[in-house]
Amino acid sequence: MQSDHVGTEALSALLDGHLSDRERETVEAHLAGCPACRIDLEQLRRTVSLLQAMPAAAPARSFAVREAVPPARVGLVHRMARPPLLRALAGAAAALMVVVLLADAAWPRGDVTTGIGLSSPAMLTARESSASTPTVNPAAASAPPPDARAGDSGAPALEPAIQPREAAPGEETPESVATPIELIGAVEAPPSLAPPSLRVGQVGAVFLGILAAILITASLRAGRRAGRRA
């Protein structure tokens, strides 16, 4: 009798009435003469009883679906659209914007030859014209604004153009004076360095600001959605 106790699976199935008649008769016959198996069975029965008593978790909200469920609700896209990630990206964009603005403000003013001179055209003009007005200024002043891009700074914006001209002193001075048309051509190239690079900083900052705003909006929306779902 002790050698052939009832296995757990048979006891468990007995509780659920899931033994065949023959199995059940065998098990019951054994139980009648084996206190150890009866204790096993009783412990299992009480375990099941406790499991059954576990409270049902009632949903706090409805899980109804709406008319059109966008396919992107699940999977990677949905996970990517989690508020923390969007907030992080927004923060990164905002931080980058600040960096660009700081770089803009801190960049050495008048360093036009690098092409990244971001300082105000007026300051540039003041310094440049004092340095090199004697030689080329008349010609530059007489020339029409070479590019609409220099429009907002007007005629003074042409002044930085003088610098590269100075950087090539080996060239014949008469030539530059004698042929104003070629001078205009020479003048035209540098503005494409200085004023546009001025723009890169400001436009970049504006772009980053807009990006940060979009990301923050998206994160708020995703946050509201998560709040609705919770």
Partner 1 sequence: MRRSGRAGWVRFRSRVAVSRRSTSVRVIDEERWLDAARAGDADAFNHLVERYQSLAYSVACRTLADPEAAADATQEAFFSAFRAIAGFRGGSFQAWLLRIVVNACYDARRYANRRPATSMDRVIEEMGEAPWPDQHAVNPETAVLSQETLATLEGALAELPDEQRLAIVLVDIEGLTYEEAADVMGRPVGTVRSRLARGRARVRDILVATGNLS
Alpha-helical segments (H) within 143-193: 162-167, 173-178, 180-188
Residue 6 vs 208, nearer CB to Zn ion:
6
Q: Tell me 191's DSSP state.
A: G
Helix axes 194-229, 83-106, angle to 10 degrees: 160
State the binding partner of 89 from partner 1, Zn ion, none, CB within 5 to 8 A by kind: none
Write down the least CB distance from residue 36 to partner 1, Å.
14
Residue 32 vs 168, nearer CB to partner 1:
32
Of the residues 20, 50, 169, 174, which one makes contact with partner 1 according to CB under 8 A: 50
Write down the least CB distance from residue 3 to partner 1, Å.
20
For 100, how many CA atoms within 13 A lie in the half-sphere containing its CB?
19
Within 8 A by CB and 6+ apart from 158, the residues are 140, 141, 143, 145, 146, 150, 187, 191
Binding of Zn ion at residue 34 (CB under 5 A)?
yes
Residue 42 vs 182, nearer CB to Zn ion:
42
Tokens 């679906």 appear where? 65
Binding of partner 1 at residue 20 (CB under 8 A)?
no
Binding of partner 1 at residue 22 (CB under 8 A)?
no
Binding of Zn ion at residue 37 (CB under 5 A)?
yes
Write down the least CB distance from residue 84 to partner 1, Å.
10
Binding of partner 1 at residue 6 (CB under 8 A)?
no
- CB under 8 A, 24+ apart: contacts of 29-34: 30/1, 30/4, 30/5, 30/6, 31/6, 33/1, 34/1, 34/2, 34/5, 34/6
State the binding partner of 5 from partner 1, Zn ion, none, CB within 5 to 8 A by kind: Zn ion
**Binding-site string for partner 1 from residue 60 to residue 89, where x marks contact by CB under 8 A and - marks none:** xxxxxxxxxx-x-xx----x----------
Binding of partner 1 at residue 106 (CB under 8 A)?
no
**Coil, strand or helix: which one is 57?**
coil
Binding residues for partner 1, per CB under 8 A? 8-9, 11-18, 28, 31-32, 41, 43-69, 71, 73-74, 79, 229-230
